[in-house]
Structure 1
Amino acid sequence: MVPFSKIRYFLALLLLIFTSEMTAEVWETSVETAFNKAKKEGRPIFIDVYADWCGYCKTLKKEIYPKKEVKQEMSKFVLLSLDGDRFPNLKKKYGVTGYPTLLFLDKNGSLTEKIAGMPDHKMVIRTLRSAYSKRDKEVSLLADLEKDPENNLLLLKAGEYYFEAKEFKKAADYFYRSFASEDPRMPENKHKALFNLGLSFSELKNWEKAIKTFSLYLDKFPTGHSKAALFYRGGAYSSLGKKPEAKEDLKKALELSSDPEEKKEIQDLLNRL
């Protein structure tokens, strides 16, 4: 017969092993999986953007992340580890220019905090706590808007928030309200709101409204983002099968562009018409 003390020790050991496995951090490697998980669970996202050749990135993973206090704070986040060189769009979106870069997002992918370069464990803990306190960015935005509903900057930020969350109908509503607002404090926001309204309609594949919005933008703000407005309006014309109008806009956008990659993208679109 096995002594009770040994059974109790064995059970305690099993519990310790089980608990360790349960509390071990799980690093996602798929952007889609991590973002879906964050939305489903209502948790913020922590992205470790690294490169295989980056020595500091390895130090972070071997020496900083395993620390008890760091792990405790990280457990509140959906963790995502990405080789930055394989995700150029993500680098561009969040302004990643070197490694390591740590990104802290709310559940809808809106950036709340960022660390560029090699931090110590205290900075990581401090930033994780700060990012977690901002995990309900949507709630705080809407609360601020309730107090000041005509504030065109807050309306613009709400539109940008929902655009990042891919809730384009909500984004369009807030961008329109920002543009239409009679708030005199920040009139410069009107051109941003109108341009982003056109982008929202493009994402919704509402090509007619996209064309009308970018046409209004080009009329009201001729010194604004004309090249981009022409490009997107040309794309909308193309989607409606209006090739002459599409070609005219895209040729104008091509003339205004000085970036080789951008010019190639526009030319490729023209060649397909």
Structure 2
Amino acid sequence: MWIRVAVAFLLISGTALQAEEIRWRTSLADGLKAARENHSLVYVQVVTEWCGYCRKLQADDYPRPEIKALLTQFVTVTIDGDRQPEVANGFKARGYPTLLVLQPDGTIIARIDGYPGPERLKQTLSQILSENKMAGLDPTPLSDQKNNSRKEEDSSPTSRDEEPSSIHPLDIALQAMQSKEFRKALDILNPFISESTSSNTEFALARFYRGMTLMELGQFEKARSDLDFASRRAPMPEQRESAAELLKKLNNAKLADKSPLKE
């Protein structure tokens, strides 16, 4: 029992020695209030006590100096998905961890579903901080920020188009899948997978997404390889289980007339 309590303490309070500079709030309302007062963005992690990758984030990734330096520029909030299901459901958390960046009014400007790995997390946070004047700077009244932003846009009308997107390719692919734009998702996933240099977490997640996308497009034989890989290597247990279920359905289905997904 004490182990469970200790794990919960680390996840919820964030007071492990390695990450003591990061102040975790456990109330979303308090976090948004602090963000409005400090003109900051809000970093939210939706986690659970039993989630292995949530513990990995806390123990391995957040203590990294480069990630810690980025996170301390946000108001950080941790939500226990089991104890605060209304908040987790409000964010449509489909698995754990779910990571989000919010404006002080609660608007979601970035989202990562599942464990991102330290490099992807660092890339996402860095780009958000560089693209949003509300984070990483000394507090400035919002009216002044708007005026400064308007001046910069007038002096450099093309700068907005030249800024890199803070959205990771896998998140763009997931959004396309959720919008049933499966061809678009495939166009993103294919080069991402082919250009990956190692079978890391992102590679496995991309194979999982592509397997589901190929099934929706009726390319069942191509989907089989991705789903088999994802059933063994996808980063989250529920993703591995889902891939295994789809693979089983694919193997058992009569492919002549209809998609296994609709049986």
Q: Normalised by the size of structure 1, how large is the TM-score? A: 0.41
Q: Normalised by the size of structure 2, how large is the TM-score? A: 0.42
From the two aligned structures, give the one with the greater helix fraction.
1
Which one has more relative contact order, counting CA pairs under 8 Å at least 6 apart?
Answer: 2
Q: Who wins on radius of gyration, i.e. which is larger?
A: 1
